[in-house]
Amino acid sequence: MSRRSSIFGRLGRRTSSATASIATSNEKDGQGNDDKLAPPPAYTTVDESATADLTAAFDQLSLSSAASDPTVDTCLAHLKLLFAIQSMKEEVGYTDGLWGLWDSRAGPLDHLEHTYVNKKKTPSDSKKPLGDDLLEDDDKVAKKTLENLSKIREKRWALYLARATQRYEAWWKSLPGGQPLTEKDMEEDTSFGYEKFPTDDSATFDCSEDKLPPLDVLMVWHTHMLNPRAFLEDAMLAGLRGFWNRGLPWHLVNAAIDSDFSYNVTDQCKAQWTNQTGLSWDNQSDPLVKDLQCPKCNTQLSIPWTTCSRPEDFYDETEPLDLTGTGFGDGNLKHLCERCGITICKESLCAFKFVKDVEALLGPANRPIPGTVLEPTTGRPATVPPEPERSIYPRTFPNRLLKSGCNSIRTKVTTLMTSKPNPTMQDIRVEIEAILGNSTWLREINKYLSPRGAAYRVGRASKLSIRKMMAHYWENFSPFALDLAGAVVRQGIFIEKMYKIDWLHSPSATDTMKRLLLKYVRFFAIMQKNPTKMAVPTLDIDLAWHTHQLSPSKYYEYSIGKTDKFIDHDDKVEEGRLSEQFEWTSKEYQDTYGEVYSECTCWYCESIRTSHVNSLGQVLGVSKSEKIAESFHASGKAKFCPPDRSAHISSHNAVMLHVDPSQPDLTTQNRVRMQLAALHQKRLDAAYAKAKKRAEKKGRTIPPRDSTYYDHWGYPYYMAGPYMYPIWFAPGLYYGWNPGYIAGCGTGANGACAAGTCGGGVAAGGCGGAGVSYP
């Protein structure tokens, strides 16, 4: 990666205002129109000769050694970490031969630099899509070669992430902490292991410069904390109260990353890591096989991380490039245990995870089943009430069900791995469905003593608890509340956008951070005012929001203080819904603060702003929304907001809805969703036409829709809108499951809820949500 410089600290111009935080804006809570934001900074190329030394600039950051609310300097340190992660990603992806994945498999490489594609004669130049009709025969071959190259590079990174998540798991299990959570903790008032866990700061975590993890592990930790409720539940179950309180040690992380965004630690730190985890400091230096105990017969197995490796000179032009693989880090894990005959796959590992968690519930550990720890509506730990309410308490219904003798559920679960040839979570669901449909068993579980002839069904809240429990196991065989490998991939989209916008090297970086912190306070006020709505952040707001979440205890305190809820950060949102809610958020912000929400001039943001304009008000010349949008251009602010480097919608969590067409309920639901999405798209199309017409009257132009292109490992690809999930997400490349979709829900569908818990009305990913969550 080329060396860059920054002038946010040029000539030592660092003032106390650089340490401004959200607390500075809390006096007004971001309300009212009297606190107008200054114009956004200009996006200009920084002259390296005019910049101060980057290392000196970062040395001037004022970073607390304790967890804190976000400040200008922590946001800058966060950007520095994101640049280091992006640099690491590029180094891994472009390392030819890593994991036996050679560039030569992509096709003829010798004439690439002379072709249409490699000269980057992209659609931004020609105003036309990069289609085969624009290319000569040699260029078509080059285009395919470059496309294959991008897949090979992505595969290297996908394997690196798979190994990183396993390394993070090993580190997590080695962390010193207290006692894991028990059901008894959940029943005691003011228990430090439960009710007081998020707020008591007496527990500490020893995090010195010699105890930092490797950058790949730090990246996974970063993503884990950006799923606040999942991280809290996982930390509580493991008893890691000091680790929760600590958060990301910005002062240490900032010191470890140099001006080239390389991550440098002491030899003592590297030795400490190896002693603690038994792993190499460098991801690539760990073994090429994953040691795993067979879930059925306990035989120790060694599974290759990938089966996609080939010799350097391997190339067969008749064989399509297939990077799916059946290794542990591949997209289609298949490994036969020769001793017992079970085929180990992702689905069987999910079932094995469930079995182990049930054994922890039933055994001496008495650990509650994941998904039953936090209150669904608030995200807070709430003490389980005493009897008789305890016997019918909805949140702990899954624990009572699994401990009951109904339908021999205990035996069926604990012997699942040996009683079925290839067990999956589908087998678990069948057994749970049988209990939910039997009034006698439900009475026994809830100690309900009504007349035996009367039908008895559990309430909606108990069904929600079953859904939340099941959501921890569908497409997730990690010990955590979510599949962190997929979450890191999605988070990488945000990192790449921060890298491209490059506030870090802007002469106005400090002012930019002040602006986004104020916008973040305003954003939170909108969530506080609209508790049933889903607010969608812009990229600048999301940077502040992410930075806050990286000090989990402080974010918890702030969120509870403002909303009485622990606001979640939804990791997966269907792309159509994301765009719809962004439209609502934009209008709410504009109406409340009298300023545009997304300071961007791309076709999408211009269309969203135009959608707020009332036709009648426009005719009469009294439309407030139109005046706000026009003032954005008339003031000159818009010229500082180019379409390709501005803070529009933050869509790193955008996914597509995956629906099984064989399920009639799902097909019907999908039809409704498609109709709603079509209506939104129709409004967006109409708004775009209006925005173009209005701009022409003012002597402006709006970028065409087909100008939205991105670069994927050197290969340009088109996206119809900035709210859509990246088309290069391919399920076969990735460890775990496809990071770009959310499973449909309904009886019989893979990844669906148990019958009788939601009536097939909510997607499985949504079922796992607690109350209203935010992207």
| Residues ≥6 apart with Cβ < 8 Å to 386 | 187
Distance, in Å, from the CA atom of 536 to the CA atom of 584, rounded to the nearest integer, reads 9
The predicted structure's pLDDT at residue 662: 57
Distance, in Å, from the CA atom of 406 to the CA atom of 412, rounded to the nearest integer, reads 10
Structure tokens at 273: 């890591």
Distance, in Å, from the CA atom of 752 to the CA atom of 467, rounded to the nearest integer, reads 9
| Residues ≥6 apart with Cβ < 8 Å to 363 | none
The predicted structure's pLDDT at residue 364: 96
Element (H, E) at 463: helix 460-471
Domain boundaries, the chain: 10-96+160-278+488-512+541-554
The predicted structure's pLDDT at residue 767: 33
The predicted structure's pLDDT at residue 314: 85
The crossing angle, in degrees rounded to 10, of helices 439-446 and 425-436 is 90
Structure tokens at 717: 């690809």
pLDDT beneath 70, residues of the chain: 1-20, 23-57, 111, 113-138, 449-454, 614-626, 628-641, 643-645, 658-676, 680, 687-688, 691-692, 695-696, 699, 705-709, 720, 723, 725, 727-729, 743-775
Distance, in Å, from the CA atom of 155 to the CA atom of 654, rounded to the nearest integer, reads 21
Structure tokens at 539: 């990229």
Q: What is the DSSP string of 279-315?
A: --SSGGGS-SEEEEE-TTT--EEEEES-S----TT--
Among candidates 108, 171, 164, which has minimal Cα distance to 485?
A: 164
Structure tokens at 234: 């996982």
Distance, in Å, from the CA atom of 277 to the CA atom of 568, rounded to the nearest integer, reads 31
